[in-house]
Structure 1
């Protein structure tokens, strides 16, 4: 009986493993398991007749439902295969950080990466850092819930100013004094953009209307802004907006009858 089959792109896969492990030596048994896993789990990813999307996000409820919404929406397109790392079987690498290995392999083989964000805690936080600081940045798109960068160009109306204010108030890594200073700067930019509002009015309306925003840190907001400047940030608030944002991602379109 012959040994396990080796995938045609074994070299590319093992290079991804080396990136994941920062050059750590991989034993022969581990390498065999990795290649055997890739041979059975990844052919649909690198099939050149279709567009492959790695979809990232929180696996906790209720966030997972929206991550799967994005995945399912993408899979309605012609010739598209969208998937979650969590849906792939385990490799059985007790010595190694297996998720890192699977992440780098699948991100390497995929045509695009779409990441859904709704909070500043959980595994998706690390995924945002990986996307922003690695070669995967060029193929990655982020879909952050209720993200709103507070520049004049984005402060087109009172509602936009309130959304930006809510995001500032929800930030997790700045104190009250810093938030007050940020709100003052936001109001100045809003006034320059033609929206007549004061800090006191902004705070009162946020309290009265109960506007909520995810508790992103400044680090995450800056990463979202980087993607926004590159035209690859798709903010959303409602489930319908999330579907619209997903439809705006590159790749094959959905069938015409699906878009009626």
Structure 2
């Protein structure tokens, strides 16, 4: 389907054809689906702007989702939310309830910000789902350190810039330990008391001891959205908050 379903018949057809791929909804499940929509009507179709925020629920990545919710909910007449906070959809066991619930919310959100920090988990599955034409035009990707903004040593004169560069190196450098050692030495030349151990601890806290990466398939899609002006890279939480201003 190339457009958002405008009535219950179109919605049912979309769920059957584009989500369930041939699975049938019995009359009870159809009624439960429509009841769910009626119960969420004010939330999904109210006069406010709705932001369906996607990303990893693992700590510490969930912290960035919470920050995004705070930023977006601070807007006038806005409601930003996570899928996990919405009521469950109760249907038969052979129906993928979480998948259907996802599309019900994605179809009617005004914008879908997706915060991406690594190559695995539910956020990657969500990334695949939102590439459908029906959703893509309202999707805004926020990948961490897709680009390197702190390569220029002339800007590496503050603690924030040093730690931001460490995050970028974690995503891009093959010889990470060596590069972090050099970065710590550079910090010392600017009288910043930051050791290699401090940088390692910062990466552990920010990235959950994970060596982050994006597969070629993901980076190809990110570049596509970047060309559509719907992809905005960031290294620090402060930069993420600033980049969220690109969500209308």
TM-score (norm 2): 0.73
- Preserved CA contact (<8 Å) 2:111 2:247: no
- Preserved CA contact (<8 Å) 1:53 1:111: yes
Offset, 1:72: 2.3
Offset, 1:91: 1.2
What is aligned with 2:141?
Answer: 142
Matched ranges for 1:1-260 at <5 A: 9-18=7-16, 19-47=18-46, 49-93=47-91, 94-148=93-147, 157=152, 166-169=170-173, 204-205=178-179, 208-209=182-183, 214-250=212-248
Q: Which moved more, 1:82-91 or 1:16-25?
A: 16-25
Offset, 1:13: 3.1
Query: Counterpart of 2:107 in 1: which secondary structure?
Result: helix
Query: Counterpart of 2:80 in 1: which secondary structure?
Result: strand
Offset, 1:161: 10
- Preserved CA contact (<8 Å) 1:146 1:214: no
Question: 1:156, 1:169 → 2: CA distance?
Answer: 12
Q: What stretches of structure 2 of length at least 5 have no aligned partner?
A: 1-5, 157-163, 184-195, 204-210
- Preserved CA contact (<8 Å) 2:53 2:81: yes
**Root-mean-square deviation (CA), in Å?**
2.9
Query: Counterpart of 2:217 in 1: which secondary structure?
Result: helix
Count of matched residue positions in the alignment of Structure 1 and Structure 2: 208
**In the TM superposition, what whole-angstrom CA distance separates every residue of 1:201-236 from its partner, at most 9, and x where no partner exists?**
x99535533786722222222221111111111111
**In the TM superposition, what whole-angstrom CA distance separates every residue of 1:146-179 from its partner, at most 9, and x where no partner exists?**
1118xxxx89846899987653447xxxxxxxxx
Question: 1:89, 1:155 → 2: CA distance?
Answer: 42
Offset, 1:247: 2.3
Query: Counterpart of 1:45 in 2: which secondary structure?
Result: helix
TM-score (norm 1): 0.70
- Preserved CA contact (<8 Å) 1:16 1:104: no
